[in-house]
Amino acid sequence: QGQESPQVKLPPSPLRQKDAGDLDLQNTDLFEQNEPGQSSFEQKESARVNNLGADIMQESRKSLVQPWTKDQESELQQLKEQLSAALKKKQEADDAIQLAKQQLDAVQQQTSQVNILVDQQVALQEQINTQLQPQQEQSEAERVQIEKKVKALSKLKEDNNAAYDSQLETNNQSISQQEDNQQWEITDEEEIEREKREQEARRQQEENENAQSETYLINQQIKEQEEQERKQREEDEEDERRRIEDEKRRRDYDEKERKRVQEEQEEEQRRKAVEEQNINEDENELTKGNVIITIFGVKNVAAMDSNGKSDPFIELMLNGQKQKTKKQKDTLNAEFNETFQFNYDGFETSGEKGISLELWDYDTIGDNDQIGKVEIPV
């Protein structure tokens, strides 16, 4: 690869004209077919192989009537093997280029997906910034106002310090001058004046200290305000966490309570069934006739659907006879006002001698859900 093809010079050979024609056809198939859309590397390899084949063809035609030696035939065979190896390398290069194109397409697809995720993240960040911007602006305004107060107090402090230093310097100069002029003789009047100056200096110093104290208090107020805001955020987060936990515990408690009530109802129904079985069948035997029952409605039905409602209806059963009311949609207090009639023969009845009423929640998809059940002796 990348090397110039060797110059092939073949000795004369006594080949027949038919052999020359076959060789020419073979070279035409191998070296003169170039695929469209080849890369520069592929074109170079094809040109090199074509040149090698052309040299072999040219030298073969020149030596059709010349005798060949065994060494020359061996050399020709080696050249053919080199030509086959070059074709094989060309095919491997084509395969490698195709694989690289496929990998590039996969990388471009992954890059497109990453760009989509980045755009979504940027949109989410912009939404969060939009929601937090009013609070940040309010905090920034309060911070700017406090900074203005601090700067004003700092300037007042500097002015007071400058005035104090100037006054102190002036007083010191005046005292020094008086001491030099009067040769350290201090009268009562001068003593009083000196005390006044000292009192003025102390007053100035106290004012400076008060200014510094106010600056310190303002800084403390800023820190306290920031600490209160931090605690308030922590309290809000804690309240939210507790609210979520309370909501979860409430749902769990409601579910347990509903199951407990349902189990109590089932236990009460089983107890009543056992008591009714213990009643003397002779005392409950009736003659033939009809049993008529009117269903007016139900109240405070348990919510069985996700919307907090139910679709209640009632099934009535007596001695293998079954009837049911119409279903009422999305309600917990249904009115039916429906009357039903059953055939009854006390002498032929075996087992339970009562009407079974079962309250159900109608489901469009799947099985209906039973809400409750009651037995009414006849």
Predicted confidence (pLDDT) per residue in 291-318, tens digit? 899 999 999 999 888 888 999 999 999 8
Other CB atoms within 10 A of residue 315 CB: 16
Tokens 């001058």 — which residue?
Answer: 177
Q: Which long-range contacts link 222-230 to residues 24+ away (Cβ below 8 Å)?
A: 222/146, 225/142, 229/139
The two tokens of residue 49 are 């192989």
Q: What does the alpha-carbon distance between residue 210 and residue 72 come to, in Å, rounded to a whole number?
A: 115
pTM of the model: 0.28
Tell me, what DSSP letter sits at residue 184? T
Task: Give the model's pLDDT for residue 30.
Answer: 43
| CA–CA distance, 343 with 330 (Å, rounded to integer) | 33
pLDDT of residue 31: 42
pLDDT at 181: 61
Beta-carbon contacts of 221 under 8 Å, excluding residues fewer than 6 positions away, are 146
Cβ(47)–Cβ(81) below 8 Å: no
Which residues does residue 314 pair with via DSSP β-bridges, in sequence order? 359
Q: Report the SS3 class of residue 213.
A: helix
Q: What is the pLDDT of residue 50?
A: 72
Residue 292 near residue 270, CB atoms below 8 Å? no
> What percent of the residues of the chain are helix, what percent strand, and what percent coil, each to the nearest 5?
65, 15, 20
Give me the residues of the chain with pLDDT under 50, please: 1-2, 4-33, 65
> pLDDT at position 339, please?
95
The per-residue pLDDT for 15 is 42
Question: Tell me, what amino acid is at 290?
Answer: N
Q: Report the Cα–Cα distance between both ends of the chain, in Å, rounded.
A: 106
What CATH number matches the domain at 288-377, 3.30.420.40, 2.60.40.150, 1.50.10.10, 3.30.465.10?
Answer: 2.60.40.150
